[in-house]
Amino acid sequence: MIWGFDGMPALDHEQVLIRTGPRSRLPVIVAVHSSTLGQAVGGCRLWRYADWQDGLADALRLSAGMTAKCAVAGLANGGGKTVVAVPPGAELDAATRRAVLDDVADAIASLDGAYATGPDVGTTPEDMAVIGERTPHVFCRPAQHGGSGDSSPATALGTLAALRAVSRRLYGTRALTGVRLSLVGLGSVGMRLARLLADEGADLLVSDIDPAKRAAGEELGATWASPEHALTADTDILVPAALGGILTGDVVPRLRCSAVVGPANNQLATADVAGLLHRRGIVWVPDYVVSAGGVINALTLELHHETPDVARQRVEAIEHTVADLFGTAEQRQVTLAQAATELARLRLGTPPAALRPASA
Ligand SMILES: NC(=O)c1ccc[n+]([C@@H]2O[C@H](COP(=O)([O-])OP(=O)(O)OC[C@H]3O[C@@H](n4cnc5c(N)ncnc54)[C@H](O)[C@@H]3O)[C@@H](O)[C@H]2O)c1
Domains of the chain: 5-141 (3.40.50.10860), 152-290 (3.40.50.720)
Would you say 188 is a known binding-site residue? yes
Strands 115-119, 40-48: pairing kind: parallel
Burial class (CB in 10 A: 0-12, 13-18, 19+), 332: exposed
Tell me if residue 47 falls in helix, strand or coil. Answer: strand
Distance from Cα 114 to the centre of ligand 1, integer Å: 29
Asked if residue 176 lies in contact with residue 202, where contact means CB atoms within 8 angstroms, the answer is yes
- Model ipTM? 0.99
Asked if residue 267 lies in contact with residue 276, where contact means CB atoms within 8 angstroms, the answer is no
Phi, psi for residue 117 in degrees, rounded to 5: -110, 170
CA 85 to chain centre: 20
pLDDT at res. 359: 44
Asked if residue 114 lies in contact with residue 32, where contact means CB atoms within 8 angstroms, the answer is yes
Nearest ligand 1 atom, CA 265: 41
Per-residue pLDDT in tens (0 to 9) along the chain, 360 residues: 444 444 456 678 999 999 999 999 999 999 999 999 999 999 999 999 999 999 999 999 999 999 999 999 999 999 999 999 999 989 999 999 999 999 999 999 999 999 999 999 899 999 999 999 999 999 999 999 999 999 999 999 999 999 999 999 999 999 999 999 999 999 999 999 999 999 999 999 999 999 999 999 999 999 999 999 999 999 999 999 998 889 999 999 999 999 999 999 889 999 899 999 999 999 999 999 999 999 999 999 998 899 999 999 999 999 999 999 999 999 999 999 999 999 999 999 854 444 444 444
pLDDT at res. 50: 95
- 69 vs 311: CA distance, rounded Å: 17
- 158 vs 324: CA distance, rounded Å: 15
CB distance 155 to ligand 1 below 6 Å? yes
Give exposure, 250-263, as e/b (b: 16+ Cβ within 10 Å): ebbeebebbbbbbb
- 308-316 and 318-332 helices cross at what angle (nearest 10)? 30
Strands 15-20, 27-32: pairing kind: antiparallel
Distance from Cα 263 to the centre of ligand 1, integer Å: 8
**Measuring from atom 33 of ligand 1, which residue has the nearest CA?**
208
Would you say 185 is a known binding-site residue? yes
Distance from Cα 188 to the centre of ligand 1, integer Å: 7
- 226 vs 214: CA distance, rounded Å: 10
- 249 vs 274: CA distance, rounded Å: 10
pLDDT at res. 303: 85
In order of 272, 275, 287, 347, 355, the CA distances from 2 in angstroms are 15, 18, 20, 21, 9
CB distance 228 to ligand 1 below 6 Å? no
Name every residue whose Cβ is closer than 8 Å to that of residue 305 and which is 6 or more positions away in sequence.
none
Say how many C-beta atoms besides its own lie within 10 A of residue 319's C-beta: 20
Cα torsion at 172, 176, 180, 181 (round to 10°)?
120
Phi, psi for residue 238 in degrees, rounded to 5: -90, 130
Predicted TM-score (pTM) of the model is 0.91
Burial class (CB in 10 A: 0-12, 13-18, 19+), 244: middle
